[in-house]
Structures are given as structure tokens and as C-alpha cells.
């Protein structure tokens, strides 16, 4: 009787044993150091959601020792491999286009691999993807599937076959996505994978399509004015210049806050945030001190530039606008693109305010010989930062995406006019007016004395 029960138990557990004997892995390709932070965030999130599945990142020759060590600290298994260039390298200048992903089919030490782009964020356990079939990907919104998330069964034969076809197969985008779409052109006729239904694969197909919830294009959310039409298991931050690790995308692109939470979770206990704040603050202080020193040196040693002609209002308008635009460009260059967003905004605004105010004061000194008081400069800095802070807080409160974008554009234009007007009036017009006499050579107070 006991033997019978044991035998029954064995029969029941045997199929499960077989499933768990399958070797699974998440794999990504890292070919630019700019993607180190998203890679660490993804590694942290995957481990948190299901620590039993290894995460491997294939790093190409451009990745530094520093990045490799950072990844290892997140528990990532790092592999070196050379990049497979696209056969269209001559016509496609964009360096992101490559065929390295086909190496995944040759990683036969695993049975099933889920490939993940680094600009994604899983929100729940996605290990169900390993059961979807021999090749699965999501079409999202066209007849071409996206190669950001796909599932494959490793197979040496398929890998060699792909290698043979690399040169001849068409690629609509010049990269691996186009190539895989040609290679697996039948996928669009395959059934949709349903994780809740067993058996998972339809008998006539080994491939399955994946629902948009496994590769949710955030562009769809914004096109729908900030509405989700599925319940995403994976958010894919596709829109090029709005990647969530870029500080200037806040507070407009609200899905980025979710990614920022994941990043902060990952950085908890480390001093990364504090370090970036210190480095931003140091840059800011150095900038203010250098600008003030330049201003003092000019006031002390440059004496002969006093103009006797009055300055036209067209000139002051043009000059103050140009200085503002230049300072904006300069302040953008100073803040590291992937700095903590709130800190980066504060220091960007401060750098912008100080640069534009002091440069305008220097212009006034060189053009009409008047030394602008430090109090006037500080009031301009204060005004600029106040305008930015108010705009930021108002935009943050708006819940509809379209309204938020329009409001942000309105503020950018309105601030340009308002701030420049304030600075022009207090640093160019007012000082020049105080020194009214057309042929006056010495400052006013000289006559008083
Ligand atoms: C990868 O290559 C770099 C230098 O090319 C080397 O320092 C590093 O140890 C290698 N890492 C692995 C995991 O082989
Ligand atoms: C982790 O993945 C394994 C393998 O697919 C699965 O059996 C298990 O249920 C997952 N664990 C969690 C916590 O989701
Ligand atoms: C590998 O792919 C080939 C061609 O599709 C197929 O015939 C073979 O059965 C596959 N091997 C395994 C182990 O799945
Ligand atoms: C599989 O293909 C066969 C023959 O083409 C067909 O009769 C059968 O209905 C198909 N099964 C499914 C589940 O589509």
C-alpha cells in the first residue's frame, strides 16, 4: 500500500521535476555605458520579483571595468562577448543597430531564455513567460513585433541557420528587430499566449504571440492621454528622449516616477543619491564663485570701455535674450543627464539663474561702465528660481497628460519672456538709467562728494 502511494506520489511529482529541471535565464545585452543605471535597476527588480532565475548580461567590448563591477554587485552574471555588427553598418550610422541578440540561441547551457531590453520595468513576476513556446514576442501595435522582450528556446541549429541568413535576410530597420521579423515572419499568424490556460502552446504552433501587457509601449499610454488599456506586467520605456533616467523628463512623463521608485529602492543604503547631490552642489558653488571673480576682475581692471552712446532698447532685448538662452544651454550641460531628478532641477535652475544674471551684469559693466550691485543680482537669481519652482509644482499637479504638456510648453515660453524682462530691467535698464548724463565720465557719487 505504502509502495503504491509512493509510486503515485512519484508519478504526480515527476512532471513537475521535469519542468523545474528546465534551465531558465533572463538575458540582456549591454553595449553602451549609458545604460548602466537602467541595467542595475532591472537587475534589482528581477531579483526582487523572482530570485530563483539567473540574470545574465552580455557586455560588449565598449563596456568599462567599472560598469562590469557595478553589475556584479547587483548579482548579475556578466559575460563578455563581441558585438555582432549589422550588415547594414554602412547605411545605418546609428550605433545602436546591431545583431548581437542572435547569440542568445547559442547559449545552450540554458533551455529557455527571456530576452529583456534594459529600458523596461517589470511590475510582477514574469517567470510564466518561460512556458510560452519556442519563440514568442509581442506585436503591440503593428505587423512587426518588437524585439525588446522575447522568449526563445536555445538551439545550436537555429543559431547557425541565423548566422547563414544574416547577410541575405532583409531587415526593415537595419537592426536585429528587422532581421528577427524576417526570420520569424510566421509569428503574426500564431495564437496568443495565455498564461492562465493550459496547455500553453497550441498543438500546431510552437511559437506564440505575447500580449501587449508583456511589452507595454509607454507611448500608447501618452497617446491615450495618460490611460492604460491593459494591466502591464512589463513597462517598456521606448520613447528615445524621455527615458526615465533623464532628469529633465520629470515631472511631465508621469510613468517615469514608477521607474524612479525602483531606482531609489535599488540605491537604498548606498550613498549614490547623496554623492550626486554633493557633486551637483560643488559644481554650482564653483560656478557662482568663478563668475563673481570674473565680474570683480572686470570691475577692478577694465576701465576704458565706458561707452558715451546710450544703449538702444533693441540691443538690450537681444542681448538679454541671448544670454538667457546661452545660460540655459550651459546649465543643461553642467547637470549630469542621469542625476536624481529633483536635485538636478534645483541645481539646473540655480546654475541658469546665476549664469544669466552675472553675465548680464558683466555686459552692463562693459557696455555702459556701471557696476551692478550684488543685491540686484541676488534678486534676479531669486526671481528666476521662484518662477521655475512655481511652474514645476503647478505642472506636477496636473493629472491629464495632454494638459500637462501644454501647460509645460506655456510655462517655458512665459518664463523666457518674464524672467528675461525682469533681468533686463534690473540689471541693464535700471543701472544705466542711474547713470543718466550722456557725457559723464566719473560715477555719480563723485559729484556728490
Ligand atoms: C571582460 O573583459 C574585460 C576586459 O576586456 C576583463 O577585464 C573582464 O575581466 C572580462 N570579464 C569576464 C567576465 O570575462
Ligand atoms: C519563480 O520562477 C519559477 C520558475 O518559473 C516559478 O516556478 C516560481 O513560482 C517563481 N517564483 C515566484 C515567487 O514567482
Ligand atoms: C533545433 O531546431 C531544429 C530546426 O528547427 C529542430 O529540428 C530541432 O529539433 C531543434 N532542437 C531542439 C533540441 O529543440
Ligand atoms: C492543427 O492542424 C490540423 C491540420 O491542419 C487541424 O485539423 C487542427 O484543427 C489544428 N489544430 C488546432 C488546435 O488548430
CA of 412 to the centre of ligand 1 (A): 46
Q: Name the DSSP class of 104.
A: G
pLDDT value of residue 82: 78
Nearest CA to ligand 3 atom 5: 158
Nearest alpha-carbon partner for 106 in 177, 181, 44, 27: 27
Atom 14 in ligand 1: residue holding the nearest Cα = 80
Q: What is the pLDDT of residue 95?
A: 53
Atom of ligand 2 nearest to the CA of 125: 14
What is the rounded CA–CA span in Å between residue 243 and residue 294? 37
Among residues 371, 225, 387, the alpha carbon closest in space to that of 302 is found at: 371
Q: Where are the alpha helices (DSSP H) in 50-93?
A: 65-73
- For residues 64 and 33, the answer to whether their CB atoms sit within 8 Å is yes
SS3 215: coil
* Strand arrangement of the beta sheet that strand 234-236 belongs to: 120-122, 234-236, 216-217
**Domains and their CATH numbers in the chain:** 16-267 (3.90.550.10), 272-435 (no CATH)
Atom of ligand 1 nearest to the CA of 65: 7
- 6, containing H or E segment: helix 2-21
Phi and psi torsions of 347, nearest 5°? -75, -30
The CA distance from 173 to 147, in Å, is: 12
**pLDDT the model gives residue 334:** 93
- Residue 17 is predicted with a pLDDT of 42
Q: How far is the CA of 193 from the centre of ligand 4 (A)?
A: 17
Task: Give dist(CA 337, CA 334) in Å, integer.
Answer: 9
Q: How far is the CA of 430 from the centre of ligand 1 (A)?
A: 63
102 vs 159: CA distance, rounded Å: 7
Name the β-bridge partners of 29: 58
CB of 80 closer than 6 angstroms to any ligand 1 atom: yes
Ligand 3 centroid–CA 157 distance in Å is 6
For the chain, 449 residues long, the average pLDDT of each consecutive 10-residue run is 49 45 91 93 95 93 92 93 76 69 92 95 93 90 91 93 86 86 91 76 73 94 90 92 93 94 89 86 95 92 65 89 96 92 94 96 87 93 96 94 95 94 89 57 47
| Ligand 1 nearest-atom number relative to CA 80 | 1
C-alpha cell at 261: 521608485
Contacts 24+ apart (CB under 8 A), 59-67: 59/30, 59/31, 60/29, 60/30, 60/31, 60/100, 62/31, 62/32, 62/33, 63/30, 63/31, 63/32, 63/33, 64/33, 67/30, 67/33, 67/36
Rounded distance from Cα 135 to ligand 4 centre (Å): 19
Compute φ and ψ for 93, nearest 5 degrees. -80, -30
Contact residues of ligand 2, CB 6 A cut-off:
24, 50, 52-53, 125, 127, 130
Query: Per residue in 9-37, is it b (16+ CB within 10 Å) or e — as a string?
Result: eeeeeeeeeeeeeebbbbbbbbbeeebbb
* pTM assigned to the model: 0.84
113 and 150 Cβ atoms separated by less than 8 Å: no
CA 125 to ligand 2 centroid distance, Å: 7
Q: Whose CA is nearest to atom 5 of ligand 4?
A: 204
Closest CA to 128 of 47, 6, 24, 228: 24
DSSP string, 278-341: HHHHHHHHHHHHHHHHHHHHHHHH--TT---SPPPHHHHHHHHHHHHHHHHHHHHHHS-TTS-H
**Which of 106, 157, 201, 206 is the best mutation target for the ligand 3 pocket, counting ligand atoms within 8 Å of the beta carbon and taking the most?**
157
Amino acid at each position: 500500500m505504502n509502495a503504491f502511494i509512493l509510486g503515485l506520489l512519484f508519478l504526480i511529482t515527476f512532471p513537475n521535476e521535469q519542468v523545474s529541471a528546465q534551465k531558465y535565464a533572463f538575458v540582456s545585452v549591454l553595449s553602451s555605458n549609458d545604460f548602466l543605471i537602467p541595467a542595475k535597476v532591472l537587475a534589482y527588480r528581477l531579483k526582487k520579483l523572482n530570485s530563483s532565475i539567473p540574470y545574465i548580461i552580455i557586455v560588449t567590448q565598449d563596456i568599462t571595468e567599472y560598469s562590469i563591477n557595478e553589475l556584479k554587485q547587483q548579482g548579475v552574471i556578466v559575460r563578455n562577448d563581441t558585438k555582432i555588427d549589422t550588415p547594414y553598418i554602412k547605411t545605418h550610422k546609428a550605433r545602436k543597430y546591431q545583431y548581437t541578440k542572435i547569440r542568445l540561441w547559442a547559449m545552450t547551457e540554458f533551455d529557455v531564455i527571456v530576452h529583456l531590453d534594459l529600458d523596461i520595468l517589470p511590475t510582477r513576476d514574469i517567470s510564466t513567460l518561460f512556458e510560452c513556446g519556442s519563440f514568442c514576442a509581442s506585436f503591440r501595435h503593428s505587423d512587426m513585433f518588437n524585439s525588446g522582450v522575447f522568449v526563445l528556446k536555445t538551439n545550436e541549429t537555429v543559431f547557425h541557420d541565423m548566422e547563414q541568413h544574416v547577410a541575405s535576410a532583409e531587415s526593415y530597420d537595419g537592426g536585429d528587430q528587422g532581421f528577427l521579423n524576417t526570420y520569424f515572419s510566421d509569428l503574426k499568424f500564431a495564437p496568443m499566449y495565455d498564461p492562465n490556460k493550459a496547455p500553453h502552446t497550441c498543438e500546431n504552433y510552437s511559437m506564440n504571440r505575447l500580449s501587449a501587457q508583456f511589452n507595454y509601449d509607454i507611448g500608447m499610454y501618452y497617446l491615450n492621454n495618460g490611460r492604460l488599456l491593459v494591466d502591464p506586467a512589463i513597462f517598456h520605456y521606448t520613447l528615445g528622449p524621455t527615458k526615465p533616467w533623464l532628469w529633465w523628463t520629470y515631472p511631465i512623463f508621469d510613468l517615469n516616477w514608477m521607474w524612479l521608485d525602483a531606482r531609489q529602492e535599488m540605491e537604498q543604503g548606498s550613498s549614490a543619491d547623496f554623492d550626486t547631490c554633493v557633486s551637483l552642489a560643488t559644481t554650482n558653488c564653483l560656478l557662482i564663485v568663478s563668475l563673481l571673480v570674473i565680474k570683480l576682475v572686470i570691475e577692478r581692471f577694465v576701465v576704458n570701455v565706458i561707452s558715451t552712446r546710450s544703449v538702444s532698447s533693441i540691443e538690450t532685448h537681444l542681448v538679454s535674450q541671448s544670454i538667457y538662452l546661452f545660460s540655459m544651454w550651459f546649465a543643461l550641460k553642467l547637470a549630469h543627464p542621469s542625476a536624481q531628478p529633483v536635485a538636478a532641477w534645483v541645481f539646473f535652475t540655480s546654475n541658469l539663474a546665476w549664469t544669466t544674471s552675472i553675465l548680464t551684469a558683466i555686459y552692463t559693466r562693459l557696455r555702459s561702465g556701471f557696476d551692478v550691485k550684488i543685491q540686484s543680482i541676488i534678486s534676479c537669481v531669486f526671481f528666476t528660481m521662484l518662477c521655475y519652482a512655481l511652474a514645476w509644482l503647478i505642472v506636477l499637479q496636473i493629472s491629464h497628460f495632454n494638459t500637462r504638456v501644454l501647460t509645460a510648453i506655456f510655462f517655458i515660453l512665459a518664463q523666457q519672456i518674464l524672467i528675461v524682462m525682469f533681468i533686463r530691467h534690473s540689471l541693464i535698464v535700471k543701472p544705466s538709467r542711474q547713470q543718466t548724463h550722456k557725457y559723464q565720465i566719473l560715477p555719480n557719487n563723485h559729484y556728490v562728494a
